[in-house]
């Protein structure tokens, strides 16, 4: 708000380091578009009246148009079959972090270093948000399998000298 004791309203100039926006003060609102900007954005507002009296105020803004970058480091890739325990790991790169949450199988909140031992298909989902409202999610699917396959039977000639082709029959199960 600019106030002056003259009958004419002062004019305002907003300077963002890249552009100037001239605004006549009549309830007009200036909109600063920070699209494509990241990092400090200096803002200077200069009010000038009809007698060329001027006042300047400065304010530093921080533009953040980049969403957080999430890297799941463990398990290393989707679709792996792993022996228990599996240690979970991830990192988040963000200049203006607000919150990071991670869930195992959509319900259990976990932190880096959490170990999972229960058998079966699993999913790790990490979501990070920044103070400008940007958000990212990364998900990793994996299966924990610590049980060795069971051999039910092996059928092959025993104690005999054989000549190829030789037929060996194996049956078994795996979880």
List pLDDT tens digits, range 119-150: 999 999 999 999 999 999 999 999 999 988 88
Structure confidence at residue 10 (pLDDT): 54
Find the helix or strand (DSSP H, E) in which 169 lies. Answer: strand 169-173
What mean pLDDT is predicted for residues 12-19?
A: 58
Mean pLDDT of the chain: 82
Find the helix or strand (DSSP H, E) in which 65 lies. Answer: none
Peptide bond into 148 cis (omega under 30): no
Token readout for 12 is 């305002």
Structure confidence at residue 50 (pLDDT): 73
**What is the C-alpha to C-alpha distance for residues 87 and 83, in angstroms, rounded to an integer?**
11
Structure confidence at residue 59 (pLDDT): 79
Please indicate whether residue 171 or residue 49 has the higher confidence score (pLDDT): 171
CB atoms within 10 A of CB 85: 13
What mean pLDDT is predicted for residues 62-90?
A: 94
Please indicate whether residue 51 or residue 136 has the higher confidence score (pLDDT): 136
Structure confidence at residue 28 (pLDDT): 52
**What is the C-alpha to C-alpha distance for residues 10 and 54, in angstroms, rounded to an integer?**
9
Q: Which of 106, 127, 121 is nearest to 75 (CA)?
A: 121
110-126 burial, b if ≥16 CB within 10 A, otherwise e?
beeebebeeeeebebbb
């Amino acid at each position: 708000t600019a106030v002056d004791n003259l009958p004419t309203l002062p004019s305002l100039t907003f300077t963002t380091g890249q552009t100037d926006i001239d605004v006549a003060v009549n309830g007009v609102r200036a909109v600063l578009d920070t699209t494509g900007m990241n990092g400090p954005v200096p803002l200077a507002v200069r009010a000038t009246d009809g007698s060329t009296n001027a006042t300047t105020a400065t304010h530093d803004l921080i533009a953040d148009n980049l969403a957080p970058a999430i890297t799941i480091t463990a398990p290393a890739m989707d679709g792996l079959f792993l022996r228990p325990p599996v240690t979970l790991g991830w990192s988040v790169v963000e200049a203006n972090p607000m919150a990071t949450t991670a869930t195992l199988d959509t319900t259990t909140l976990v932190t880096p270093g959490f170990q999972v031992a229960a058998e079966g298909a699993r999913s790790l989902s990490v979501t990070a948000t920044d103070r400008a409202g940007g958000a990212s999610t990364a998900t990793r699917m994996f299966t924990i399998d610590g049980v060795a396959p069971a051999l039910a039977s092996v059928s092959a000639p025993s104690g005999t000298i054989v000549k190829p082709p030789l037929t060996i029959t194996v049956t078994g199960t795996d979880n």
